[in-house]
Structure 1
Amino acid sequence: MDPPRSKSWSIHTRREIASKYQILERVGSGAYSDVYRARRISDNLTVALKEVHDYQSAFREIEALQALQNCPNVVVLYEYFWSEDEDAVLVLEYLPNDLSDVIRAAKKGEWKDEGLRIGEIKRWMVQILCGVDACHRNSIVHRDLKPSNLLISANGLLKLADFGQARILLAPGYVAVGYNPQFYEQSSPNDAIVANPPETNPVADNAADHEGQVIQGESLRKEEGRRLSEEHRERDFLDEGDKESNIPDGDVSCLATCTASDMEEDPFKNYSYEAEEGENEGLGPLTSCVGTRWFRAPELLYGSTTYGPEIDLWSLGCIFAELLSLEPLFPGTSDIDQLSRIISVMGNLSEEVWPGCLELPDYKTISFGKVENPIGLDSCLPNRSADEILLVNKLLCFDPANRATAMELLQDKYLTEDPLPVPVSELRIPSKHSDQDEDSPGEWGDYRDVGSDSDFDDFGSTNLIKTNDGFSIRFS
């Protein structure tokens, strides 16, 4: 599908924007959006202007960010511009680095030591988990979590970004059980995380004092999450809009996205894009073609349209593994190769490990030879502790219901025992946002080009078998 054309030939022609912002340079460009670094004239604040050419993507981003306002680990949306005949322009907090910069710097030995220290890894994990927990408490599925969508300020504050593929799974006005906005409330984005002394709870310094209102026990949180997921799976609306806005934005995601401030005459206050698409009976099935392949959950690779927040938890497992090894865990070259890499590590997918997997749309169409001796995560994470491998294992489960929630992991002993997460002020940040080396397209550049495909040419012999339901492709 051809990318949508911009309705305005240039953001520079927008008088309402030029009167408030001085555009300095374009810093990112993708199929569906362009990002500019700009200066707010009233106070010289540096911001990111994200011009979104796709209506669905713009709406989803704004809707999700408004729901996540006051969350310290989600980037700030100051305001937006929207008119009938123009592209949406989001005015966002400008953050110069992302987690992929940190991983790349550690891998290249920029800090001249063993790479990332354990206390640093734990602090990055805590910040990511707080952002994801805020999303899931608001029944928002991000659907594209990866290192380049985790932005970092100059003082080490990490924030989730790029909500263009996000979905809100509950109807407007419904508040998830256990959600308390004050849990994440802070006086300003820069004050969001306080570097507490080492003896304090490493999780509390990311989430402020929630006055005992955390959900009553891990089991209740997981049970509620499963209930909401099941409710979602019972809906019968086919979201065509998903299929038309799933092209990754590449570099754009490295510099912008999200949480809304107060806005007058909000055009989205009482609007639902489900109604715009001609349905009003609920959210219903989703598209499986979302996210970036290396971080895509198995159920998506098998074509599921009835998933929930658990797909974000799988992505977290891949991200955490990359923090520990400084290498992508499953760097698939196609969707089939992605599944093959997962199965070689975790073993074959079956009813024994995931009751109900036979119902996945493509389970009977694609099959792999029996993996007698899967290599296991410990082989992928050499020289890492048993606790570190166990933490990743809690996320990388075939059965989505068995994946640990973000809140459960925030209470995990790995993050609450020595060595504790370092204070945010002690996190090492790359000296500047460096570009991808032109002579190394096989590393981080791959994040731009790991979308869905159906190219089987790279897999040698295949066995095409006719079945009662059509055919099956078996890979040896």
Structure 2
Amino acid sequence: MDPPSPSSSSPPPPKSWSIHTRREITSKYEIHERVGSGAYSDVYRGVRRSDSLPVALKEVHDRLSASREVHALLALQHSPNVVVMHEYFCRDDEDAVLVLEFLPTDLASVVREARPERGGGLSPGEIKRWMVQILSGVDACHRNSIVHRDLKPSNLLVSADGVLKLADFGQARILMDPGFDCFYENHPQLHDHNAPNPPSFVPNPEIPRQGGSRNEEHRSLGEEEYLGELDDIKGKDSMSEVDKETRDGGTSCLATCTASDLEDDPFKGGSYSYEAEEGGDDRYGSFTSCVGTRWFRAPELLYGSTKYGPEIDLWALGCIFAELFNLEPLFPGTSDIDQLGRIFSVLGNLTEEIWPGCLELPDYRSISFGKVENPLGLDKCLPNRSPDEINIVKKLICYDPSSRATAMELLHDKYLNEEPLPVPVSELRVPSSHTAQDEGSPGEWCDYRDMDSDSDFEDFGPVSVTTTNTGFSIRFP
């Protein structure tokens, strides 16, 4: 016989130390080995007992991250290029657990396996098919007012039969402010109601949510009730949203790696300075600049912007597409300052002539670089690629966010709609599983999650610090 339910005055039961101890979950799912781990979530491979369906069980230790992921996946549940959430478990005294479809590999592994020493590259038709699937997933996000904020190859999961799906929405934000309306006004093709996934938020009341005692049955959760619970989660959380977002703890259904072979130092023979102002202001509004993994982070984020929209995802797309072409990262920065420097070495300095809005970036006047006299240009970064291939990256890797092509625009781009056409999904070469670091080459591979050190200066050695009228200046040799 089950014990009586505790009264409202009773203290909450102690938190379980492991997902394996939670009977409401283990009664429905066999939990196997852990396949992914981050600072604030763990992912386990599992099987649904009722029909032997493989699943991934994501135990999220951060309440706000969990609420964001559930909220986003409910809104995107009918999108074929977004990971499916079968069910979720959430109650006050335990970590949230999301039951997701299990996908055995990711785009980072696809890129790694295609390198010359392994697979000999990706054909144009393969690259186009990967692009189409990524763009379809991102377009679904943006049509539902969702900014993913952490797009990278290891968060693009791939099924055994080649279907790519966006995953890890723990940093996602659903935009409901006027700024998002401006994004749609600037890109009128997004108002095409004949296009797939029109802007909407339609949570599925059939996705079961479990919580409370272990005798509680599945219950439907409509939009109003879910949003009420989401507000309650946010209200109960004692840690500020800004504090949470400055931590890099995301993990997808896989723990993945990518190469970080660095080219020659782009700063050789140059210098740049960072000037910190005294005092401070409340620069953290509803958003924070500390989102996204550094290699895929838009320049406005590196300059501290908190007023941004889907355009930051578009910059990340450009970096991902360049990696599909080159099979190596476009801007593998070792710190935020190094990241900006690598971007400048390719695109040139960010100035108000190029993007007048840069003057409003919080850190624009605090971080200064020496003038880049001869920027490389994206053409040199994409050797042996066709003009159309280079142009599709240029439409995304540009300073002015409003100039970046939308996902829908790119889906109609001539590059993706002319010979050679995207190959069928069934013809994509998919690694059998996530490929780990080569044992014989320590240091050759780097996890995308490990590139977000809080110290921007640790890799530069000696620096010169001088006092200025506004604080101090740091100049790197």
TM-score, normalised via structure 1 length: 0.77
1:244 paired residue number:
244
Q: Secondary structure at the match of 1:24?
A: strand
1:183 paired residue number:
196
Deviations 1:9-66 (A, max 9, x none): 0111111101110112111111101111111010000000000000011000001111
2:174 paired residue number:
168
Q: Secondary structure at the match of 1:159?
A: strand
Q: What is the percent sequence identity of the aligned residues?
A: 70
2:18 aligned partner, one-letter code: S
Q: CA deviation at 1:457?
A: 4.0
1:247–1:7 Cα change, 3 Å: farther
1:385–1:101 Cα change, 3 Å: same
* C-alpha distance in 2 between matches for 1:441 and 1:407: 41
Q: CA deviation at 1:465?
A: 5.5
Deviations 1:144-180 (A, max 9, x none): 0000000000110000000000000117xx9986376
1:253–1:440 Cα change, 3 Å: farther
Q: CA deviation at 1:419?
A: 0.7
2:82 paired residue number:
74
1:379 paired with 2:403, answer no
Deviations 1:358-386 (A, max 9, x none): 22111111111110000111111111111
1:56 paired residue number:
64
Deviations 1:284-336 (A, max 9, x none): 44111111011011011111111111100000000000000001000011111
Question: Is the 2:81–2:164 Cα contact (8 Å) retained in structure 1?
Answer: yes
Question: Is the 2:68–2:169 Cα contact (8 Å) retained in structure 1?
Answer: yes
1:289 aligned partner, one-letter code: C
Question: Is the 1:143–1:165 Cα contact (8 Å) retained in structure 2?
Answer: yes
* C-alpha distance in 2 between matches for 1:368 and 1:475: 10
Select the residue among 14, 18, 28 that pairs with 1:10: 18
Q: CA deviation at 1:254?
A: 2.5
* Superposition map of 1:189-200 within 5 A: none
Question: Is the 1:137–1:178 Cα contact (8 Å) retained in structure 2?
Answer: no
Select the residue among 9, 12, 31 that pairs with 2:39: 31
2:451 paired residue number:
450
* C-alpha distance in 1 between matches for 2:118 and 2:250: 24
Rg larger in 1 or in 2? 2
How many positions carry a matched residue from both structures? 389
1:344 aligned partner, one-letter code: S
* Superposition map of 1:315-394 within 5 A: 315-394=316-395
Q: CA deviation at 1:439?
A: 4.4
* C-alpha distance in 1 between matches for 2:99 and 2:344: 42
Q: CA deviation at 1:475?
A: 4.1
433-442 vs 331-340, which moves further: 433-442
Question: Is the 1:345–1:376 Cα contact (8 Å) retained in structure 2?
Answer: yes
1:137 paired residue number:
143
Q: Secondary structure at the match of 2:191?
A: coil
1:73–1:119 Cα change, 3 Å: same
Q: Secondary structure at the match of 2:459?
A: helix
* C-alpha distance in 2 between matches for 1:416 and 1:47: 35
1:45 paired residue number:
53
Q: CA deviation at 1:397?
A: 0.6
* C-alpha distance in 2 between matches for 1:54 and 1:383: 45
2:244 aligned partner, one-letter code: E
Deviations 1:372-427 (A, max 9, x none): 00011111111111111111011001111111111111111110111110011110
* C-alpha distance in 2 between matches for 1:441 and 1:123: 32
* C-alpha distance in 1 between matches for 2:140 and 2:152: 17
Question: Is the 1:138–1:179 Cα contact (8 Å) retained in structure 2?
Answer: no
1:356–1:101 Cα change, 3 Å: same
1:401–1:144 Cα change, 3 Å: same
Question: Is the 2:135–2:411 Cα contact (8 Å) retained in structure 1?
Answer: yes
1:254 paired residue number:
254
Deviations 1:225-255 (A, max 9, x none): xxxxxxxxxxxxxx94143144334664527
Q: Secondary structure at the match of 1:387?
A: helix
1:157 paired residue number:
163
* C-alpha distance in 1 between matches for 2:97 and 2:334: 33
Q: Secondary structure at the match of 1:244?
A: helix
1:406 paired with 2:412, answer no
Q: CA deviation at 1:467?
A: 4.7
Deviations 1:436-473 (A, max 9, x none): 22444545424121115233243356554655543444
Runs of 5+ consecutive residues of structure 2 not aligned to the other structure: 1-13, 185-189, 199-238, 257-283
1:391 aligned partner, one-letter code: I
Question: Is the 1:145–1:291 Cα contact (8 Å) retained in structure 2?
Answer: yes
* C-alpha distance in 1 between matches for 2:89 and 2:83: 18
2:114 aligned partner, one-letter code: A
Deviations 1:124-145 (A, max 9, x none): 0000000001000111000000
1:29–1:330 Cα change, 3 Å: same
Q: CA deviation at 1:340?
A: 0.6
TM-score, normalised via structure 2 length: 0.77
* Superposition map of 1:257-336 within 5 A: 284-336=285-337
1:147 paired with 2:160, answer no
2:420 aligned partner, one-letter code: P
Question: Is the 1:246–1:291 Cα contact (8 Å) retained in structure 2?
Answer: no
Question: Is the 2:36–2:44 Cα contact (8 Å) retained in structure 1?
Answer: yes
2:76 aligned partner, one-letter code: L
1:292–1:181 Cα change, 3 Å: farther
1:52–1:97 Cα change, 3 Å: same
* C-alpha distance in 1 between matches for 2:49 and 2:145: 36
1:43–1:116 Cα change, 3 Å: same
Q: Secondary structure at the match of 1:445?
A: strand
Q: Secondary structure at the match of 1:34?
A: strand
